[in-house]
């Protein structure tokens, strides 16, 4: 009798123990899963409901809320040549003559840091280097050399002093003179700048060289000067008066920023003044188009009135 009761008690206790195990086992399993995930480094953080960018993809795109906002994606921007800007009013007669004769062409680019290539990742990405490659693309069977004579920080008076050794001694057929920015930044009088420009152009034309001017860049540090428009207009006036070519760099870069909606970081370095690789390359592309057009443009012939019989 006593033995039978003991067996019943053991059976009852075993049944209770099995029930407890069955109830607690899922809880143990759940408690072990997070621990394993943490040990493996696989716990995913839930998105924060308070972060608008997590739920609104437009929050991270400045152009989504403002379609006119400049696009900050510099490397993806495409260089589009503006036909009305990549054009010289004057024909490059000396270059045209060299092209027609199949003889080599030498170009000297003189200027300040914009010519030297400040802001470019290497000398090969300065605008004179890129221009040489661009012109060889336009005229693949013609020897063309572009000599870089840019010196950082110079003004027109400094460049003029270098003309005899750095320009005329090279005996180039075309001179590209980038000028105006440093004088503008240092608040030089406009009348003094005009006199230097005219003297320099006269020297180059006396040597029978084609001349092209490049005006200042459209960048934050230039725009901060109150007379930047007057400085750009003055260079245009001198170019027209002296009948030389003018690369409207200011208008070209303004078109990039105001019309194409490219952010300054697309074509200007962080100093707010110098162009970067993209900017120099696009400048060279436009210059190449303008030079090729001005050197291959037919000569205008005057039509004389018929003689009376």
Residue with tokens 């060279």: 284
Q: What is the pLDDT along the chain (309 residues), one digit of tens a residue?
A: 444 445 455 455 555 455 544 444 444 334 433 433 333 333 333 333 344 334 444 444 444 444 444 444 445 789 999 999 999 999 999 999 999 999 999 999 999 999 999 999 999 999 999 999 999 999 999 999 999 999 999 999 999 999 999 999 999 999 999 999 999 999 999 888 999 999 999 999 999 999 999 999 999 999 999 999 999 999 999 999 999 999 999 999 999 999 999 999 999 999 999 999 999 999 999 999 999 999 999 876 434 444 443
pLDDT at 77: 86
d(CA 180, CA 197): 9
What's domain 70-295's superfamily in CATH? SGNH hydrolase (3.40.50.1110)
d(CA 215, CA 247): 7
One-letter-per-residue 3-state SS of the chain? CHHHHHHHHHHHHHHHHHHHHHHHHHHHHHHHHHHHHHHHCCCCCCCCCCCHHHHCHHHHCHHHHCCCCCECCCCCCCCCCCCCCCCCCCCCHHHHHHHHHCCCEEEEEEECHHHHCCCCCCHHHCHHHHHHHHHHHHCCCCCEEEEEEECCCCCHHHHHHHHHHHHHHHCCCEEEEECCHHHHHCCCCHHHHHHHHHHHHHHHHHCCCEEEEECCCCCHHHHCCCCHHHHHHHHHHHHHHHCCEEECHHHHHHHHHHHCCECHHHHECCCCCCECHHHHHHHHHHHHHHHHHHHHCCCCCCCCCCCCC
Q: Where are the domains of the chain?
A: 70-295
Give the list of residues 6+ apart from residue 33 with CB closer than 8 angstroms, or none.
none
pLDDT at 258: 97
Give the list of residues 6+ apart from residue 1 with CB closer than 8 angstroms, or none.
none
pLDDT at 299: 78
pLDDT at 41: 37
């Amino acid at each position: 009798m006593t033995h039978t009761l003991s067996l019943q008690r053991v059976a009852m206790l075993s049944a209770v123990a099995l029930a407890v195990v069955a109830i607690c086992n899922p809880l143990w399993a759940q408690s072990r899963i997070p621990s394993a995930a943490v040990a493996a480094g696989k716990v995913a953080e839930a998105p924060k409901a308070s972060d608008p960018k997590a739920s609104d993809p437009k929050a991270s795109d400045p152009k989504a809320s403002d379609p006119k906002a400049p696009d900050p994606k510099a490397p993806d921007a495409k260089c589009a040549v503006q036909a009305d800007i990549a054009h010289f009013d004057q024909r490059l007669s000396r270059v045209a003559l060299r092209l027609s004769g199949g003889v080599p062409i030498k170009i000297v680019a003189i200027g300040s840091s914009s010519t030297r290539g400040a802001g470019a990742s290497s000398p090969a990405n300065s605008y004179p280097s890129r221009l040489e490659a661009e012109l060889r693309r336009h005229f693949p069977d013609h020897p063309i050399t572009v000599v870089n004579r840019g010196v950082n920080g110079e003004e027109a008076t400094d460049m003029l002093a270098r003309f005899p050794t750095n320009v005329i001694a090279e005996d180039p057929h075309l001179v590209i003179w980038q000028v105006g920015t440093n004088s503008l930044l240092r608040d030089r009088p406009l009348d003094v700048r005009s006199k230097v420009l005219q003297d320099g152009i006269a020297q180059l034309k006396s040597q029978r060289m084609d001349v092209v001017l490049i005006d200042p860049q459209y960048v934050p540090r230039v725009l901060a000067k109150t007379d930047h428009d007057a400085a750009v207009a003055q260079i245009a006036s001198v170019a027209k008066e002296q009948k030389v070519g003018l690369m409207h760099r200011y208008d070209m870069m303004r078109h990039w920023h105001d019309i194409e909606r490219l952010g300054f970081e697309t074509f200007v370095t962080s100093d707010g003044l110098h162009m970067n690789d993209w900017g120099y390359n696009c400048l060279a592309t436009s210059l190449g188009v303008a030079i090729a057009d001005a050197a291959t443009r037919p000569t205008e012939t005057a039509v004389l009135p018929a003689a009376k019989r």
